[in-house]
Amino acid sequence: MSPIYARMSEVVLNIDVVLNIVKDELGLDLVQDESAIEGSSLVVPSESLLSVMEVLRQHEKLKFRVLMSQTGVHRGEDMLLFYHLHSYEFSHTICVLCVVPAEGGEVDSVSCIWSGADWLERETFDLLGVHFKGHPNLRRIMMPEDWEGHPLRKDYKMPTEYAGIDNTPCSLEKLDD
């Protein structure tokens, strides 16, 4: 194996190490996300998200200094928020899952830990309606400021008109060959 490939390959992270560190630092008994398809994933209660994320970034055995992505999914009565973190020093990744209620759900912003979360959280707010407490500039980023609703929610009703423009879905007709 070439040395370049060896440096780029992911190191498998033992999720039990992370769970023990969080328990030692914060006294929280977190659980691994058993539904994760691949990699290490853990579930964090919304009220503990900020403190857990600070430990994941700052602990000398973890050093998750990069927030690779933050996104969300509307599922039933909940919004599932996913945070993908990476440590360049240890070459490992982790996914943090946080569940908030779809109606009135809010969670602390992690933009004070990773400045790149600013736009990612704005996108999640804009498209799913999740409020991020303490965010420095929580406003729409993709939709116009006066847009009603959040387009990626399961209960979203697309308007038939916006700003005098017809937004009615057109019918698709099969073209004869």
Give the mean model confidence (pLDDT) for residues 26-34. Answer: 87
Instruction: State which fold the 3-155 domain adopts.
Output: Beta Polymerase; domain 2 (3.30.460)
Percentage above 90 pLDDT, the chain:
72
The alpha-helical segments, DSSP class H, found in the chain are 3-8, 15-26, 49-58, 117-128
* Residue ranges covered by each domain of the chain: 3-155
What is the reported pLDDT for 173? 72
What mean pLDDT, rounded, does the chain reach? 89
Give the mean model confidence (pLDDT) for residues 38-53. Answer: 90
- pLDDT tops 90 at residue 48: yes
What is the reported pLDDT for 4? 38
What is the reported pLDDT for 11? 62
Opening angle at CA 102, ends 159 and 140, nearest 5: 55
